[in-house]
Amino acid sequence: MSWFSGLETIVRTDVPLCDHTWYRLGGPARWFCLPRDENELAVLITRLRDAGVAWRILGGGANVIVRDEGFPGAVIRLTGDVFESVRFEPGGVVVAGAGADLPRLVRTTLDHGRVGLETLAGIPGTLGGALRMNAGGRYGEIGHFVGWVRVIGPDGRVQQRSRAQVGFAYRHARLDDCVVCAAALRLPGGDAAAARRRHREIWLEKYGSQPALAARTSGCVFKNPPGDAAGRLLDQAGLKGTRVGGAEISRRHANFIEAHDGATAADVLNLIALAKERVRATTGIELEPEVEIW
């Protein structure tokens, strides 16, 4: 009996992941799972754990590099009405599902006169992915707004974790042992028109200094080391425009790698290794990837 017997309606086999990542690179997932609600998700995770099958949750695919060989386990996507829901509650609370598209969530809250998420303008991905790595930029990060996060814990049960329990830090949250299902964000009212203007300004600033939206990238490749900027270090090391196969270090912002036609995931990974080595050799600083490599 296979690990997913009885779950055939939500489990597919050998699904190409290049259709699901911003890089549009990488091989297939052995299994690709689309649970429709938290119960199905909990059952799925328990089965995978009991069968010893490796699994990952795929958000918007904005921060992941899938190897050309693909992923030999199960990839789970949280789509559909339950996981993409957004609910406005009294007291400035917005409860959203992990699968909610972050840029759309930002715009929806602004349209409802809620203030705060404009600081996350231009950050791609889903709410779940953003929470997992406390996505943010110069003007703010998602963890700042969190009231609680509802997760499926390591025991397969639903739990609620407070912001303090999650311990948001720079590109980090204590959510590695669980799956995020939903979260409550605290967004007070305020000057909604000013927030919408700010949203537009930040968005324009980012797209003036970063590769075009149409470019195939995974956002910033490396985390900023304490007190410095990875983009500046990579730039100073003379890496802009450096190519391996079809992968190129962006000429606009050195912490982005663009995939051109014909690029493979191996090209991107080899270019990451080359850039890391060059920065280590010139500055002694050890850059750590921000992207996940599957």
Interface with ligand EPU by CB under 6 A: which residues? 137-138, 206, 209, 219-220, 223-224, 229-232, 235, 253-255, 290
Closer of 226 and 284 to ligand EPU (Cβ): 226
CB of residue 5 to ligand EPU, shortest distance in Å:
39
Closer of 126 and 224 to ligand EPU (Cβ): 224
CB of residue 272 to ligand EPU, shortest distance in Å:
14
CB of residue 232 to ligand EPU, shortest distance in Å:
4
Amino acid code (one letter) for 219 = G
Closer of 120 and 152 to ligand EPU (Cβ): 120
CB of residue 294 to ligand EPU, shortest distance in Å:
17
* Long-range Cβ contacts of 269-278 (<8 Å, 24+ apart): 269/65, 269/67, 269/293, 270/244, 270/245, 271/242, 271/243, 271/244, 271/247, 272/221, 274/242, 274/244, 275/221, 275/222, 275/234, 275/237, 275/239, 275/242, 275/249, 276/222, 278/237, 278/238, 278/239
CB of residue 90 to ligand EPU, shortest distance in Å:
32
Angle between helical axes of 192-209 and 102-111 (0-180°, round to 10): 150
Closer of 144 and 206 to ligand EPU (Cβ): 206
Picking from 280, 289, 247, the residue whose alpha carbon sits closest to that of residue 266 is 247
Which residue number has the CB closest to ligand EPU?
137
Which residues make Cβ contacts (< 8 Å) with residue 193, sequence separation at least 6? none
Amino acid code (one letter) for 45 = I
Q: What's the rounded Cα separation, in Å, for the pair 132 and 87?
A: 21
CB of residue 94 to ligand EPU, shortest distance in Å:
22
Closer of 129 and 231 to ligand EPU (Cβ): 231
Tokens of 37: 């609600």
Query: From the CA atom positions of the chain, what is the Rg in Å?
Result: 19
Closer of 52 and 138 to ligand EPU (Cβ): 138
CB of residue 257 to ligand EPU, shortest distance in Å:
11
Closer of 138 and 281 to ligand EPU (Cβ): 138
Q: What's the rounded Cα separation, in Å, for the pair 142 and 133?
A: 9
